Amino acid sequence: ISLLFLWPTVSLFAVGNWPLAILYGGIIGLTAFRYYFSPAAAMEEIGSMDLVDGKTEREIWQNQSRLNEIVGNISRGKSRGAWVSVISFFAFCFLALFAGAVGDNSTTAEIEDPTYHYMQGYEYLPVENSLRYPTCHMTSDLQESPLTAMADYIFLARVAYRGNVTQSELDNWFGQEVAVNQEELVSVYREENNVDSAVVFKLITYPTETGKDFAYLAIRGTTNQWEALTDAQLWSGAMLMQSLREFLPFGSIWTPVMSLFIDAAVSVESSSIEEISFYKDTVQFTDYLKGHNYAGVAVTGHSLGGGLSMITGAQAHVPSVALSGPNTVLTRKSLDPPISMEELDRYTFNIIPARDVVPMIDDTAQNYQKIRCNADFTDVIGCHDTTRALCEAIYTCGSAGRPVPCECVTQMGFPHPEQMEGTELTFAEACNITTTAN
């Protein structure tokens, strides 16, 4: 009662979500009434079991007992235990996230993760005679983007997490002062437009042959428990519907109308959803970029940032390439404004590593690419790693002139790259010298 009724109800009232709190309390009240006032108990109370007869008292008792058991099973069938388990699981997850968020002192400050060591003079050649990744180079409907390699978008999604080393990362990957981190422009925009939400994004510009820069918006993913709660609230409806679809007989026949159910549920808590609708800030910034003298705009991001990038791309009508992003097919009608399947199929693309649980949330749209994951099966979050995805992309598709990070070999377990002509040191020797110097 405390976990599944009192705590959720009090929490909903505490955060001011009165409509959902009343609805939740009413549903729980009806469920409790049905449980404690079962047909079996009512039948015994009114004495209607006296109508059950038998030749002996023992036979009468057995018949009444059988009837009681049958009615009890109708009232509380075996499926009840399964549903209680599902609801308890979701309640436990939200409780764990909330408790972790309360005890998490981290802010939305950028993360200074370890320095990566990029090695020039070494290359991965594309895997020959293989159609493993037809989208190694994405050339369709990218609005003349100068960057088409899947590895480049994975790199940009990874850069969104970086702090003061962002520009040096870009220089190492693309070359000196080729791609530019427009940090000041983003800061001025946020200040002038009063963008004070927790969403973090970077603007990377890249030159084109026309003389104009192409703008890439990189949205950061989840870094703390509060952002994990944002994930849960935005996509909780999709997760619940997916669970229902698995448990219900012929559950897949309900898929076409699940987006309507989610929209109805979200409309009850529209004020709470409004507060964590980070995509509105990124869509507004994307529209701002479209109104300036850029050759084009594209969006990318990882995890939560990937999900937001696909929403942003579909709503702003610009290409979006996500890495490990939660999908938006079931959630699309609950967004403001709603997204059509045509917009998702035209403007969004999701890179999905094997065994990564985050892109299992919601249903995939038309365009996605599954990639391998060489993490150990005991590593629960290993396949959600941006570095591992980057290494897999350049190993299978070829590095194509980009440097090879030492971490692909030393940490992620990929084979050593080929040594290019004119390079004296082996890859292991070069990485050893560089990592020792740092």
162 with 181: CB under 8 angstroms?
no
Separation CA 149–CA 139 (nearest Å): 9
Q: What is the CA radius of gyration of the chain?
A: 27
Confidence of residue 404 (pLDDT cuts 50, 70, 90): very high
C-alpha 412/C-alpha 195 separation (Å) is: 38
**What does the pLDDT average to over 242-252?**
83
More confident residue, 360 or 103: 360
Better-scored residue on pLDDT, 389 or 164: 389
Token pair, residue 302, equals 């990882």
CB atoms under 10 Å from CB of 201, counted, come to 23
Cross-sheet strand order for the sheet of 201-207? 180-181, 201-207, 213-219, 296-302, 320-323, 348-353, 368-371
DSSP category for residue 146:
S
Q: Could you tell me the two tokens for 312?
A: 């942003």
Phi and psi, residue 298, nearest 5°: -140, 155
Tokens 């990362």 belong to residue: 169
For the stretch 318-330, pLDDT in tens is: 999 999 999 999 9
Q: Out of 57-61, 279-283, 303-307, 330-334, which region has the weakest mean confidence (pLDDT)? A: 57-61
What is the C-alpha to C-alpha distance for residues 37 and 75, in angstroms, rounded to an integer? 10
Q: Minimal CA–CA distance to 34: which of 3, 77, 67?
A: 77
**pLDDT average, residue stretch 203-211:** 95
pLDDT in tens, 327-368: 999 999 989 899 999 999 999 999 999 999 999 999 999 999
| Higher local confidence (pLDDT), 208 or 47 | 208
Instruction: Lowest mean pLDDT of 42-46, 165-169, 191-195, name the range.
Output: 42-46
Residue linked to tokens 């890495």: 323
User: In 3-state terms, the chain is what percent helix, strand and coil (to 5)?
Assistant: 55, 10, 35
Is residue 223 exposed (0-12), middle (13-18) or buried (19+ Cβ within 10 Å)?
A: buried
The two tokens of residue 251 are 């559950």
- Residue 23 above 80 pLDDT? no
Which residue in 397, 416, 417 sits closest to 152, CA to CA? 397
| C-alpha to C-alpha distances, 399 to 118, 120, 163, 408, nearest whole angstrom | 12, 11, 25, 12
Question: On the CB side of 348, how many CA atoms lie within 13 Å of its CA?
Answer: 34
pLDDT digits (tens, 9 = 90+) for 251-279: 888 888 888 888 877 666 555 555 567 89
Distance CA 77, CA 37 (A): 15
Mean pLDDT (the chain, rounded): 83
Across the chain, how many H-helices and E-strands are there? 17, 11
Q: Pick the residue with more confidence: 339 or 240?
A: 339
Confidence at residue 79, expressed as pLDDT on a 0 to 100 scale? 60
Rounded CA separation 54/63 (Å): 7
Q: Which of 92, 109, 69, 74 is nearest to 2 (CA)?
A: 92
